[in-house]
Amino acid sequence: MQPFLDSTDVLQDGAELQQRMTRDGYLFIRRLLPPAVVESLRLQILAIARDAGWIQAGAPLADAIADLNGSCVEPEPAYMQTYHAMYKLPDFHAIQHHPNLIGFFERMLGESVLPSPRIIGRTMFPQREAFTTPPHQDFIPFQGAADTYTAWIPLSDLPIELGGLQVAAGSHKRGVYEFQPALGAGGLGVLDPLDGTWAYSPFKQGDVLIFHSMTVHKGLANTSDRLRMSLDGRYQKVSDPISPGSLQPHNLLSAWEDIYADWPDTDLKYYWRKWDLKIKEYDNSYHDKRDQMAFDMAAEGDTRAISTLQRIVVHDPDPAKRRKAEELLAVLEEPADA
Ligand SMILES: O=C(O)CCC(=O)C(=O)O
How far apart are the C-alpha atoms of 334 and 298, rounded to whole Å? 12
Q: Which atom of ligand 1 is nearest to the CA of 152?
A: 9
Q: Which atom of ligand 1 is nearest to the CA of 184?
A: 3
Assess contact for 240 and 147: CB atoms under 8 A. Answer: yes
Whether 207 is in the pocket of ligand 1, judged by its Cβ within 6 Å, is no
Q: Which atom of ligand 1 is nearest to the CA of 230?
A: 1
pLDDT single digits (tens) 85-107: 999 999 999 999 999 999 999 99
- In terms of Cβ atoms closer than 10 Å to its own Cβ (0-12, 13-18, 19+), residue 281 is exposed
Q: What does the pLDDT read at residue 49?
A: 98
* Interacting residues of 229 by C-beta distance below 8 A, sequence separation 6+: 42, 45, 46, 64, 121, 122, 123, 124, 154, 155, 156
What DSSP state is assigned to residue 208? Answer: E
* Ligand 1: centre distance to CA 265 (Å): 31
- In terms of Cβ atoms closer than 10 Å to its own Cβ (0-12, 13-18, 19+), residue 204 is middle
Domain ranges in the chain?
Answer: 8-281, 284-338
Q: What does the pLDDT read at residue 232?
A: 98
Closest by Cα among 272, 245, 232, 199 to 6: 199
Whether 123 is in the pocket of ligand 1, judged by its Cβ within 6 Å, is no
Strand partners, 188: 181
Q: Which atom of ligand 1 is nearest to the CA of 163?
A: 3
State whether CATH 1.10.10.60 applies to domain 8-281: no
Q: What does the pLDDT read at residue 337?
A: 56
Enter the pTM of the model.
Answer: 0.95
Cis before 75? omega within 30: yes
Whether 212 is in the pocket of ligand 1, judged by its Cβ within 6 Å, is no
Amino acid at 273: R
pLDDT single digits (tens) 185-242: 888 999 999 999 999 999 999 999 999 999 999 999 999 999 999 999 999 999 999 9
Q: Give the residue whose CA is nearest to atom 10 of ligand 1.
A: 138
Whether 48 is in the pocket of ligand 1, judged by its Cβ within 6 Å, is no
Whether 324 is in the pocket of ligand 1, judged by its Cβ within 6 Å, is no
Please give the backbone phi and psi of residue 275, each rounded to the nearest 5 degrees, phi first.
Answer: -105, 150
Residue 53: CB atoms within 10 A of its CB come to: 15
- 3-state class (DSSP) for residue 212: strand
Whether 128 is in the pocket of ligand 1, judged by its Cβ within 6 Å, is no
How far apart are the C-alpha atoms of 97 and 4, rounded to whole Å? 25
Report residues of the chain scoring pLDDT below 70. 251-253, 334-338
With the most atoms of ligand 1 within 8 angstroms of its CB, the residue from 152, 210, 228, 235 to mutate is 152
With the most atoms of ligand 1 within 8 angstroms of its CB, the residue from 128, 133, 222 to mutate is 133
* Ligand 1: centre distance to CA 218 (Å): 7
Q: What is the total residue count of the chain? A: 338
Please give the backbone phi and psi of residue 302, each rounded to the nearest 5 degrees, phi first.
Answer: -85, 110
